[in-house]
Structure 1
Amino acid sequence: MMNGRMTDVAIVGGGLAGGLIALAIHRAHPDWRLQLIERDSVLGGNHRWSWFSSDLSPAGEALLEPFRQVHWDKGYDVAFPRLRRTLDAGYRSLASEDFDHALQRLLPPEAIRLNTAVAALDAEGVTLESGERIPARAVIDCRSFQPSAHLLGGWQVFMGRHIRLPDPHGLERPVIMDATVTQSAPAGNGAAYRFVYVLPLAAQEVFIEDTYYADDPALDRSLLSGRIDRYAARHGWGDGVPIGNETGVLPVITGGDFEAYLASIRVPGVAMAGARGGFTHPLTSYTVPIAVENALAIAARGDLAGPQLAAFIENRARAHWRKTAIYRALGRMLFKAAEPERRVDIFQRFYGLPERLIERFYTCHSTLADKARILIGRPPVPIPRALRALASKGNPLTLEKHR
């Protein structure tokens, strides 16, 4: 153990990854001195995370059990132009507000540093913009994804709105993808695959999110807000009152040089986790199962010295990159092989596959048989275009407008 002034583990970034790592370490080593450092006034930002009930191990379920969640146990729906299906798996959702409240309750008060900007990280601690120095045995960087020309792909752009209705909405199940909507992106944003995501959060509350996969990261708030207005009105929810909103732009990684990416942002001796460290689903940006698995693994090896912990986590990131190659290939098919208005066909075909395959897909645990099943059969895009897409490089994942 360190002395009374030394921090055992300093975690920079209080989003999903950083918060879960802090909680997992605290549960495994309650006497350790932690610092969870977040630049904003709350932990978790302004997000909603969801996952299937089958996604987590018993240990993972135990880690998330203290967080207030919304549960649906009657399956979920998907809708496409030529496919409508109800799948059996239960579904769970966690709001960032509840994430923040739980961590504030579960972690020692002195472990959380909000409204705290970081100037620099190194293997021996964290220097704040205020000039304060936090010495630490190990430092974990859980800040946001770092756009990079070393990674290739496109973007998932979304806006969500939480609405309170005057009357019950009548929905029994979430609608994970309603892709019967018009398949288009905002003008100037390139072609897109678009769908609407609907969560019945309470009898008179619904969450509607309009999402599209696009070549460029521009987020047109006015257009997306109007789309949500029209979707709500079409379903009889037009007189609802908005009580919450969120927006986001997430990377859809289709390729790149992962080693070069790591080298470009690596700080010697500092571990990187979360999306910044490469721990995300490259096609769907689905994060909860990955973040939970990583948090538990890090807590189990948290007694390693900083450089050893950094090497351990980086090796996990490399293994994750290797096993997610198929999802990057499917992303290239989406962005490079499908005609803009036919991108929906890729997801439509996928959601006709066996349910357990779909669940394993989202957790990045696809088996060899799953991968074969996904790739074999009549492709949803022309074979020559598919072959060219698989060999393509794609656009760099930078925030500059693609040309």
Structure 2
Amino acid sequence: MANRYDIAIAGGGLSGSLIALMLADRRPDLSVALVEAGPVIGGNHVWSFFATDIAEENRELVEGLAAARWNAGYDVRFPAYRRTLATPYRSILSENLAAAVATALPAGAVYTGTAVTALDPKGIALADGTRIEADGVIDARGLNRDMLAELHGGWQKFAGVTLRLATPHKMTRPIVMDATVKQKDGYRFVYVLPFSADEVFVEDTYYSDSRSLDAETLFGRIDDYAEGRGWTVVEKTRKETGVLPVVTGGDFTRFRAHAVPGVAQAGVRAGLFQPLTSYSLPDAVRLAALIADAQAHDSASLAALTNAHAAAHWRSGGFYRLLARMLFGAAQGRDRYKVLQRFYALDEGLVERFYAGESTLFDKLRVLAGKPPVPVLKAASVLAGHGAPGPLRGKK
């Protein structure tokens, strides 16, 4: 059985879905198919972002996806200080993304629950025998082991759960980093989103040398954190876990060689995420707008467009990979928090641009200026290319 579209997207996660939504909004003349191997579009995720991460011309679409908006800014907590930053913060839930896709695309154009078995510039083959033919094909699936093997670095891993409380928590804004918790397994912090007066999403996060994740241990630590805040939990709903790469280096040419020839790459499969934070939403929005605004949408044109964009992104990420090398190669285990503690004491605009992946030359000089929060000799060794993390493949 075959179906034909102008554009077919493999991967119904954040990047693939945003491309579909942006095309539906800006190019309604194009027919779009979205294919997701999982049972639902978007999986089970909470994606958060600073409002300033998104260019003004793209904000309307992204704001419409937000399940929660905090215009009073956010807090960070470190052993040396606590600080409130004024930047507005937003969160998108996977069910919001799925609902938006279901509204934007016509019935039958969203395929879920069937794996992709093959991609080529003319279409997508599914495990159930369906063939989706298209003039333009985009691969927005996740990273595979061969691609990871070309990257060097460590891991950001996390477990999160939504807690309904017996009494109001009285929080008015998120805590994006609470590093006052006991440091374990590298740099540890807790992330708290107050979705309603008695409901919070709490995530326990680690910048670790190991990708292994003991979910039950992390959920237990979340229970301890809630108890320490004086919260009585009456119900636990959404649960989420994840392990993301933090990239310190690698061979981008070899990384790109694992792409399907003649097919456009999107999202993390194109390497489009902030190397240090593993943060992908701003880049997903930028690429979605770039694709929607393109003059041509055949596979050859889309592949050329996304290849050039991904290469430029890799070049611009050198500063963030340097900082990641410092964090993983020069900071000593449980002292890694000192790197972020120093960073969050800097100018608020610098912090905003950092998360958006748009640091200026002055920002970079300011981050590197002064006494480093890591041993000087260790930092010099890492800068000289010694002691930096190795390939991501095989790390357990």
TM-score category (smaller protein): over 0.9
- TM-aligned CA distance change 1:210 to 1:5, over 3 Å: closer
Q: Which amino acid aligns with 2:223?
A: D
Q: Percent identity?
A: 49
* Post-superposition offset of 1:83: 2.0
The partner residue of 2:334 within 337, 341, 345 is 341
Q: Deviation at 1:307?
A: 1.6
- Corresponding residue to 2:271 among 278, 303, 320: 278
Q: Contact between 2:20 and 2:34, CA under 8 Å: does it hold in 1? A: yes
* Counterpart residue number, 2:298: 305
- How far did residue 302 of structure 1 move? 6.0
What is the rounded CA distance, in whole Å, between the counterparts of 1:7 and 1:145 in structure 2? 25
Whole-Å separation in 1 of the counterparts to 2:173 and 2:65: 21
Instruction: Give how far 1:53 is off.
Output: 1.7
* Correspondence 1:211 to 2:209: no
Structure 2 segments unaligned to the other structure (5+ residues): none
- For the residue of structure 2 that corresponds to 1:6, the secondary structure is strand
Aligned to 1:201: 195
Query: Aligned pair 1:266/2:264, yes or no?
Result: no
1:307-349 residue CA offsets vs partner (Å, 9 max, x unmatched) = 2210110110010011111111111111110111210110000
| 1:215-260 CA-partner distances (Å, limit 9, x unpaired) | 1110101210110010000001233310111000000011000111
Superposition deviation, residue 68 in structure 1: 4.1
Distance in 2 of aligned mates of 1:289 and 1:182: 31
User: Does the CA-based 8 Å contact 1:25-1:302 persist in structure 2?
Assistant: no
* Structure 1: distance between partners of 2:303 and 2:283: 18
- State the partner residue of 2:17: 19
In the alignment of these two chains, the number of paired residues is 391
Q: Which amino acid is 1:50 matched to?
A: S
Would you say the 8 A contact 1:7–1:134 is kept in 2?
Answer: yes
Contact kept in structure 2, 1:269 and 1:308, CA below 8 Å: no
Amino acid at match of 2:100: A
Q: In the alignment, which residue of structure 2 is the partner of 1:180?
A: 180
Aligned: 1:73 with 2:67: no
Secondary structure of 1:396 counterpart: coil
SS at match of 1:154: strand
- The residue that corresponds to 1:245 in the other structure is 239
- Corresponding residue SS for 1:327: helix
Is residue 122–residue 137 contact of structure 2 (8 Å, CA) maintained in 1?
A: yes
Q: Distance in 2 between matches of 1:354 and 1:84?
A: 15
Pair 1:328–1:93, CA change in 2 (3 A): same
Normalising by structure 1, what TM-score? 0.94
Q: 1:140 aligns with which of 138, 149, 174?
A: 138
2:52 aligns to what SS in structure 1?
Answer: coil
Counterpart residue type for residue 268 of structure 2: A
2:389 corresponds to: 394
Unaligned regions of 5+ residues in structure 1, if any?
A: 186-191
Deviation at 1:124, TM superposition (A): 1.2
Q: Secondary structure in 2 aligned to 1:77?
A: strand
- Cα-to-partner distance string for 1:61-108 (whole Å, 9 max, x where unaligned): 122133242011111110111121111111111111111112111222
Match for residue 157 of structure 2? 157
Tell me by how many angstroms 1:21 deviates: 0.3
Instruction: For residue 5 of structure 1, report the CA deviation from its aligned partner.
Output: 5.7
SS in 1 for 2:190: strand
Match of 1:188 in 2: none
Please say if residues 7 and 297 of structure 2, whose CA atoms lie closer than 8 Å, have aligned partners that are also in contact. Answer: no
Q: Distance in 1 between matches of 2:109 and 2:64?
A: 18
Q: Is the 8 A contact 1:36 1:113 kept in 2?
A: yes
Distance 1:118 1:237 in 2: 44
Q: Contact conserved, 2:47 with 2:93, CA < 8 A, in 1?
A: yes
Contact 1:302 1:309 in 2 (8 A): no
* 1:227 corresponds to: 221
CA distance in 1, matches of 2:348, 2:314: 24
Aligned residue type for 1:247: T
1:352 equivalent in structure 2: 345
Matched position secondary structure for 2:162: strand
After superposition, give the CA deviation of every residue in 1:13-70 in whole Å (9 maximum; x if it has no partner): 0000000001111112212121100011111111101111222122211221332420
Task: Judge conservation of contact 1:268–1:307 (CA < 8 Å) in 2.
Answer: no
Structure 2: which amino acid aligns with 1:242? K
Please give the TM-score of this superposition, normalised by the length of structure 2. 0.96
In structure 2, give the amino acid aligned to 1:31.
Answer: D
The CA RMSD measured in Å over matched residues stands at: 1.4
Aligned-partner SS, 2:233: coil
